[in-house]
Every structure is written in structure tokens, then in C-alpha cells.
A and B are shown apart, each in its own frame.
Chain A
Amino acid sequence: AQSVTQLDSHVSVSEGTPVLLRCNYSSSYSPSLFWYVQHPNKGLQLLLKYTSAATLVKGINGFEAEFKKSETSFHLTKPSAHMSDAAEYFCVVSDQYNFNKFYFGSGTKLNVKP
């Protein structure tokens, strides 16, 4: 069965410094992988997705993620954090047999200090 592990429940960075949110998945195949962002009291918005077209994926708001099959990782990065990036981030993997079924990580809360 697929699973997703987000290695940090909380990450705190200063504004203007890099952001790294870590995600590992377990799967015997190459899945579709996603990062979603959820601002306080809001719904989830898609940041970016990996679908085997390119291992480095660029998303909205300057975020990007790199798919590393050998490490089963899909870490989310941003070169310079902005105060508006403070939110919760979810890593998501698609099901092996049903690409319309998805599994969520437990989330990483990003705090950005001024």
C-alpha cells in the first residue's frame, strides 16, 4: 500500500531564507505526487505536481520540488521565504491501481519569522 511521510510537523524559517519541506513516499511504482498548501481556515490549493514528465517540477509562488526515485523523496523548496508562505503544506501520492485515489501526508506547518 502507498504511504506518505512528511518528516517535519513544524518548520520555522526567517523571511528571505530558503524553505525545505521534506516528503518521502513508499511505492513500488512511479506515482503521481503533489504538494498542496492550506492557509489558515481555507481550503487546499495545488502548488505543483509530478507526473513523470520531468523530475524537477516548478509550481506557483516560486515553489519547486524534485522527484528522486532512488531516495523515494519529493521535497518542496523555495529559495526565499515570504511572510505569505506561512501555511500548512501537504504531500500527496496517488494510488498505484487507481490514479483517482490519493493518500495524504500528515502535513507540515511552515512558520515564517519577520
Chain B
Amino acid sequence: NAGVTQTPKFRVLKTGQSMTLLCAQDMNHEYMYWYRQDPGMGLRLIHYSVGEGTTAKGEVPDGYNVSRLKKQNFLLGLESAAPSQTSVYFCASSGLKLLSYEQYFGPGTRLTVT
């Protein structure tokens, strides 16, 4: 039981390049999320998904796209990277446990855009 995994762990991009971050979970959770973490700002929700084939915008969706073609996978895409997207990206999934939903996080992806 690996929980939530993310690939890659580190990536450096040049401005204008594209990339896809992959998140996978093996807990059969319906909900999955992508967050970005910047110093002093906590975690901010980029996009989330309430089930296979569905996605929704979070607080900071601009410049990102997502897809949930399979229940266990949630992909985050950057079509044209900008230095402002330098951040640490966390994927999470959530499931019901002891009266409430709680989130399980991946280890993060550190992205630098130069």
C-alpha cells in the first residue's frame, strides 16, 4: 500500500516549456487534489477532482490544466511554464475515516522555472 505517489520529485524547466506531473493513489479514493506551496502562503488549491472524468477549479487554476482519466491517477499539466510557477506541488486524495473526510498527501514535486 503505497498511499499517494508523485512523479517526478524534482524538475527544472525553462520559461515556455511544458510538463506533466503525475499523481497516483491506491486507496480507491474518489477525491483528488493538486496544491502548490509557496513560502508564507500555506497550500493553495489549484484544481481538484470529485471522481473519474471530472475536474474543477480551485483558488489558483490559471496556467494549469488537469485530467482524471482513471480513478487512481490525477495529472497536472503546465502548457507554457512561467517563473511564477516555481513552487512545490503536492497531490492529495481524500477518503472517509472516522466520521470525516481526511486528506493523504504525496511527497511533493519541487519545480523550478528559469
Listed in ascending order, the chain A residues whose CB lies under 8 Å from chain B are: 9, 32, 34, 36, 42-46, 49, 51-53, 90, 92, 94, 99-102, 104-107
Beyond the given A42-B108, A52-B99, A100-B30, could you list 12 further A-B residue pairs with CB under 8 A, ordered by the A residue number? Answer: A9-B40, A43-B105, A44-B90, A44-B105, A45-B105, A53-B99, A94-B100, A99-B101, A100-B50, A101-B48, A102-B45, A107-B40
9 contacts between A and B (CB under 8 A): A36-B105, A43-B105, A44-B92, A44-B105, A46-B102, A51-B100, A90-B42, A100-B94, A104-B35
A9 CB, min distance to chain B CBs, angstroms: 7
Expressed in whole angstroms, the minimum distance between the Cβ of B52 and any Cβ of chain A is 15
B90: chain A residues within 8 A (beta carbon): 43-44
Q: How near does chain A come to B43, taking the closest CB pair, in angstroms? A: 4
Smallest distance from the beta carbon of A52 to chain B beta carbons, Å? 8
Chain B hits for A53, CB < 8 A: 99
A51 contacts B98, CB within 8 Å?
yes
- The B interface is mostly helix, strand or loop, or mixed, namely strand
Q: State how many residues of chain B have any CB contact under 8 Å with chain A.
A: 25
Map CB proximity to A onto B81-99 as digits: 1 under 8 Å, 0 otherwise. Answer: 0000000001010100011
Given A49-B102, A100-B50, residue A43 in contact with residue B42 (CB < 8 A): no
Does chain A have a CB within 8 A of B77? Answer: no
B44, B48, B94, B102: the one contacting A104 at CB < 8 Å is B44
B61 at the interface (CB under 8 A from A): no
B37-76 to A contact mask, C-beta < 8 Å, 1/0: 0001111110010100000000000000000000000000
> Is A32's CB under 8 angstroms from B100's CB?
yes
CB distance from B17 to the nearest CB of A (A): 24
Which A residues touch B41, using CB under 8 A? Answer: 106
